[in-house]
């Protein structure tokens, strides 16, 4: 008998798992509460502009990369994309020349030696750890293991060429800087804090060194970051094509109300059709929850106490304030990189209205009419400050963030009443409304020593045949990470058949 798999959430992780399992002959139904698929990697249209909601760049399209492997498995062409080079131009406080993170390894080596004299041993250590970790990851280990089969996959991935990583498992990035005599290099640490905040949610003091080695090296060839033609929506839409190609079904505007279990095994869920208001129950052999871990706990009719406590004990995730601008071409400096980071005050907390990560569309990339461009600028923020009972206080905070962002962006871009054609913002409350992510959190679980890799949350939950996909699990973060979580779940389900 064909087994039924129900997938909660049509983000990249959910769509990937659904399409791959449909290809393997499972009866797959994917439920999405929004009208648009893709979650935090979706897009929206305004006045001829297409804005990427959250994620604006993609890793894993290279030969052997996770997206390339998945699209090849599904028999689908890779989305059209261009390399991000530099991957990012980073402006530190008071500096007019950026630190350019080049895709070419040699060019990046020369850049960092010029920008951070005396730091090359640190970068060489990162490269050695990255190469070992990449070889390990390419063997498809299951981390963390929660079953005998998982453990066997992990053991098969361990080889002598990965042993170099063992002594560094308990080290943070700051620990490595101190070990190499670079602990007092505040400029280097500020740069690392800014870059790591994008990938691991936390800075050098807390980010696990082994995670950072991959996060800081994935921008260089033969890997690299890519800019999709059209919008980030292309990734999700292509996965929907794959899902439906193999008979899987997608149901938009359906909200999951409860996940049911019996004797420690998942049996189905209750959902609401938001178009009709109809409530009904669906039975399932497997359920894949492509949601943040706190959302999963809220959906369970009987959360396992230990699992519930583990999730509640996780350090809080960040939210995001995002400003979306449609502008005239004249607003964009000549040779503007596709991605920039600005830090405005080295003394303030990175992300709390103190820094901006900016993505700029390219001419002809499908995001803006001819002679116009889009600018998407985001800042990490504490979600708690946005959940006030006072509508007036909320609007004042939103106005403050908006005005601050515009003033700061105007230091680099030519932003005037004449050049700004469209403007709107999103806050954690916006993200919760459209994605249902609890309190509007983004970016997953911070990659601290206690939560990265072997110490993080697993795809396999304590409830049999209930799986957790997305940015809460290893490796998490970005479209490549959530796709890998889906890839792992598919392998685990196939092994249990």
Is 391 found in the same domain as 473?
no
Q: Are 5 and 493 in contact (CB under 8 A)?
A: yes
Of 188, 205, 222, which marks where a domain is finished? 222
Q: Are 178 and 455 in contact (CB under 8 A)?
A: no
Of 169, 194, 222, which marks where a domain is finished? 222
**In terms of pLDDT, which residue wins out, 443 or 336?**
336
The verdict on residue 187 lying in a domain is: yes
How confident is residue 469, by pLDDT bands cut at 50, 70 and 90?
A: very high
Q: Are 354 and 379 in contact (CB under 8 A)?
A: yes
Q: Is the pLDDT of residue 91 over 90?
A: yes
The verdict on residue 396 lying in a domain is: yes
How confident is residue 56, by pLDDT bands cut at 50, 70 and 90?
A: very high
Is 327 found in the same domain as 390?
yes
Nearest-angstrom CA–CA distance, 228 and 467: 29
Is 466 found in the same domain as 372?
no
The verdict on residue 337 lying in a domain is: yes
Q: Are 377 and 409 in contact (CB under 8 A)?
A: yes
| pLDDT tens, residue by residue, 178-228 | 999 999 999 999 999 999 999 999 999 999 999 999 999 999 999 999 999
The verdict on residue 90 lying in a domain is: no
Q: How many domains does the chain have?
A: 3
Of 192, 222, 252, which marks where a domain is finished? 222
**For position 437, what pLDDT does the model report?**
95
How confident is residue 475, by pLDDT bands cut at 50, 70 and 90?
A: confident
**For position 392, what pLDDT does the model report?**
94
Find the mean pLDDT for residues 296-324: 95
**For position 349, what pLDDT does the model report?**
66
**For position 354, what pLDDT does the model report?**
87
Q: Which residues in 357-370 are b (16+ Cβ under 10 Å) and which e?
A: bbbbbbeebebbee
Q: Are 35 and 253 in contact (CB under 8 A)?
A: yes
Q: DSSP per residue over 12-81, as a string?
A: HHHHHHHHHHHHTT-EEEEEESSSSSBGGG-EEEETTEEEESS---EE--STTSHHHHHHHHHT-PPPPE
Is 285 found in the same domain as 369?
no
**For position 348, what pLDDT does the model report?**
65
Helical H segments across 201-299, by residue range:
209-217, 233-245, 293-299
Is 323 found in the same domain as 306?
no
| pLDDT tens, residue by residue, 119-156 | 999 999 999 999 999 999 999 999 999 999 999 999 99
Q: Is the pLDDT of residue 476 over 90?
A: no
Q: What percentage of residues in the chain have a pLDDT greater than 90?
A: 94
| pLDDT tens, residue by residue, 235-279 | 999 999 999 999 999 999 999 999 999 999 999 999 999 999 999
Is 386 found in the same domain as 366?
yes
Is 431 found in the same domain as 357?
yes
The verdict on residue 143 lying in a domain is: yes
Is 215 found in the same domain as 187?
yes
Q: Average pLDDT over the chain, rounded to whole? A: 95
The verdict on residue 53 lying in a domain is: no
Q: Is the pLDDT of residue 474 over 90?
A: no
Strand partners, 113: none
Is 263 found in the same domain as 347?
no
The verdict on residue 87 lying in a domain is: no
Helical H segments across 75-147, by residue range:
105-115, 120-138
The reported pTM is 0.96
Find the mean pLDDT for residues 351-359: 86
The verdict on residue 399 lying in a domain is: yes
Is 423 found in the same domain as 335?
yes
**For position 77, what pLDDT does the model report?**
95
Query: What is the span of the domain harbouring residue 211?
Result: 104-222
Is 282 found in the same domain as 236?
yes
**For position 133, what pLDDT does the model report?**
95
Q: Please state whether beta strands 279-283 and 339-343 pair in parallel, antiparallel, or not at all (unpaired).
A: unpaired
Is 171 found in the same domain as 144?
yes
Tell me which H or E stretch contains 358: strand 355-360
């Amino acid at each position: 008998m064909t087994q039924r798999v129900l997938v909660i959430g049509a983000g990249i992780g959910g769509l990937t798992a659904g399409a791959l399992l449909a290809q393997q002959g499972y009866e797959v139904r994917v439920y999405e509460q929004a009208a648009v698929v893709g979650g935090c990697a979706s897009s929206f249209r305004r006045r001829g502009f297409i804005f990427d909601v959250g994620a604006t760049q993609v890793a894993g399209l290279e030969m052997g990369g996770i997206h390339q492997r998945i699209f090849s498995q599904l028999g689908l062409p890779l989305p059209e994309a261009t390399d991000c080079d530099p991957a990012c131009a980073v402006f530190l406080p008071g500096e007019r020349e950026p630190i350019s993170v080049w895709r070419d390894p040699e060019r990046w080596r020369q850049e960092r030696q010029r920008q951070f004299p005396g730091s090359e041993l640190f970068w060489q250590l990162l490269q050695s750890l990255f190469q070992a970790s990449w070889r390990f990851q390419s063997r498809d280990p299951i981390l963390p293991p929660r079953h005998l089969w998982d453990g066997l996959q992990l053991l098969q991935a361990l080889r002598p060429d990965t042993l170099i990583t063992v002594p560094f498992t308990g080290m943070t990035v700051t620990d490595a800087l101190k070990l190499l005599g670079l602990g007092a290099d505040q400029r280097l640490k500020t740069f690392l804090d800014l870059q790591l905040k994008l990938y691991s949610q936390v800075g050098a003091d807390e980010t696990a060194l082994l995670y950072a080695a991959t996060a800081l090296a994935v921008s260089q060839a033969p890997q690299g970051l890519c800019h999709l033609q059209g919008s980030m929506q292309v990734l999700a839409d292509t996965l929907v094509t794959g899902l439906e190609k193999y008979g899987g079904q997608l149901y938009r505007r359906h909200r999951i109300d409860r996940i049911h279990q019996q004797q420690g095994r998942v049996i189905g869920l209750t959902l609401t059709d938001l178009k009709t208001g109809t409530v009904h129950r669906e039975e399932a052999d497997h359920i894949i929850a492509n949601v943040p871990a706190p959302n999963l706990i809220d959906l369970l009719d009987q959360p396992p106490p230990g699992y519930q406590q583990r999730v509640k004990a996780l350090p809080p995730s960040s939210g995001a304030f995002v400003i979306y601008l449609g502008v005239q071409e004249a607003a964009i400096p000549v040779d503007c990189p596709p991605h920039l980071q600005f830090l405005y005050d080295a003394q303030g907390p990175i992300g709390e209205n103190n820094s901006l990560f900016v993505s700029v569309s390219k001419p002809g990339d499908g995001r803006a009419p001819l002679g116009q461009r889009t600018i998407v600028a985001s800042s990490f923020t504490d979600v708690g400050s946005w959940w006030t009972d006072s509508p007036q206080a909320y609007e004042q905070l939103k106005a403050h963030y908006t005005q601050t962002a515009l003033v700061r962006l105007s230091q680099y871009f030519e932003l005037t009443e004449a050049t700004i054609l469209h403007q709107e913002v999103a806050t954690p409350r916006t993200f919760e409304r459209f994605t249902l992510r609890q309190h509007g959190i983004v970016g997953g679980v911070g990659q601290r020593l206690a939560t990265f890799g072997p110490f993080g949350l697993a795809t396999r939950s304590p409830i049999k045949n209930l799986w957790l996909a997305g940015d809460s699990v290893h490796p998490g973060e970005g479209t490549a990470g959530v796709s890998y979580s889906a890839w792992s779940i598919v392998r685990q389900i196939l092994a249990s058949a």
